Amino acid sequence: MPIIIHKKFIQAPINLCFDLARNVEVHTRTTSKTKERAVAGVTSGLLVEGDIVTWEATHLGVKQRLTAKVIHMEAPTEFIDIMVSGAFHSFTHKHQFIEDQDGTWMIDTFEYRSPFGVIGIIADKLFLKKYMQAFLTNRANELKKLAESLSSSTYLSHKK
Which domain, by its residues, includes 99? 3-153
Q: Assess if residue 111 is contained within a domain.
A: yes
Per-residue confidence (pLDDT) for residue 116, from 0 to 100: 78
Q: Assess if residue 16 is contained within a domain.
A: yes
Q: Assess if residue 159 is contained within a domain.
A: no
- Short-list 154, 57, 7, CA closest to 68: 57
Q: In percent, how much of the chain has pLDDT > 70? A: 94
Instruction: Place 95 in a pLDDT band, splitting at 50, 70 and 90.
Output: very high
Q: 90: domain CATH number? A: 3.30.530.20
- Short-list 18, 40, 5, CA closest to 137: 5
Distance, in Å, from the CA atom of 126 to the CA atom of 120, rounded to the nearest integer, reads 10
Q: Assess if residue 10 is contained within a domain.
A: yes
Q: Assess if residue 53 is contained within a domain.
A: yes
Convert the pLDDT of each residue in 24-58 to its tens digit: 999 999 999 999 999 999 999 999 999 999 999 99
Q: Assess if residue 158 is contained within a domain.
A: no
Q: Assess if residue 160 is contained within a domain.
A: no
The number of domains in the chain is 1
Convert the pLDDT of each residue in 66-92 to its tens digit: 999 999 999 999 999 999 999 999 999
